[in-house]
């Protein structure tokens, strides 16, 4: 398996990218850059389910797992993602253990959860891999995001929910939750981020985040992060283009 679950179980430290664009061509290009995983963002990105399947096909065989951030807590849509072959799902803005338990149950078949068991799925290789149903609980990674002061307060309870395999801190929304949107140098914002780190590390659940402003990816690993999202497709494209133009105009 090259699932995110297996990589985290193996103790790997992973550098990833957030893909906002819906293009499978971009997915394929990113897969050649040396990244360890790709977060396909359907919360802030513009892709739909069809786009996602094309992106998964672009990653097939390259050994790079996809973590898909969902746009809503819609159980039906989550089931469709899983049926399409998604093995790692990230739920944004979790603020209570109750909400997290509901999302974990959404991702698993009974008796562990409430996922509907369909047939002819891409996840089962169109019914040529019927062992999928028995393996699914162990292969599927449920990730949750802590992105608010309320979420930080509930971090210990959130991390304690059985079935949570990754907790990702969202610093931008974290700053917004205390009225300091984007003020990453503010001492209260930095303290809240550090408190989230402290509570997640104490719980022993793999932790991840984007690279906090002023830090490097290596700094993030040193602070205990296992998944570091080093940038976005759009940011990397725009930065490279601007640098090229500036080099010509100098």
Q: Which residues are catalytic?
A: 44
User: d(Cα 19, Cα 53) in Å, to the nearest integer?
Assistant: 14
Of the candidates 112, 211, 67, which has an alpha carbon nearest to the alpha carbon of residue 102? 112
Write the Ramachandran bin of 222: left for phi over 0, alpha for psi from -120 to 50, otherwise beta: alpha
CA angle, 2 as apex, 80 and 59 as ends, to 5°? 60
Residue identified by tokens 């990453």 is: 184
Report yes or no: 140 and 66 within 8 Å, Cβ to Cβ.
Answer: no
Of the candidates 105, 201, 99, which has an alpha carbon nearest to the alpha carbon of residue 158? 99
User: d(Cα 157, Cα 159) in Å, to the nearest integer?
Assistant: 5
Report yes or no: 40 and 21 within 8 Å, Cβ to Cβ.
Answer: no
User: d(Cα 207, Cα 176) in Å, to the nearest integer?
Assistant: 21
């Amino acid at each position: 398996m090259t699932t995110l679950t297996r990589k985290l179980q193996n103790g790997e430290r992973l550098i990833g990218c957030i893909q906002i664009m819906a293009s499978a061509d971009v997915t394929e290009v990113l897969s050649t850059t040396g990244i360890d995983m790709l977060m396909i963002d359907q919360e802030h990105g513009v892709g739909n389910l069809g786009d996602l399947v094309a992106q998964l096909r672009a990653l097939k065989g390259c050994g790079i797992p996809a973590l898909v951030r969902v746009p809503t807590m819609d159980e039906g849509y989550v089931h469709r993602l899983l049926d399409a072959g998604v093995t790692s799902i990230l739920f944004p803005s979790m603020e209570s253990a109750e909400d997290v338990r509901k999302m974990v149950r959404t991702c698993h078949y009974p008796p562990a959860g409430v996922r509907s068991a369909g047939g002819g799925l891409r996840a089962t290789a169109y019914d040529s891999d019927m062992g999928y149903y028995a393996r699914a609980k162990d292969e599927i990674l449920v990730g949750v995001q802590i992105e608010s002061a309320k979420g930080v307060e509930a971090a210990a309870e959130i991390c304690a929910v059985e079935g949570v395999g990754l907790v990702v801190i969202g610093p931008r929304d974290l700053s917004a939750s205390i009225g300091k949107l984007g003020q990453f140098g503010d001492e209260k914002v930095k303290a809240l981020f550090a408190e989230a780190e402290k509570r997640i590390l104490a719980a022993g659940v793999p932790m991840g985040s984007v690279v906090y402003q002023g830090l490097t990816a290596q700094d993030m690993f040193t602070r205990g992060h296992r998944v570091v999202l080093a940038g976005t497709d759009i940011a990397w494209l725009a930065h490279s283009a601007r640098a090229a133009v500036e080099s010509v105009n100098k």
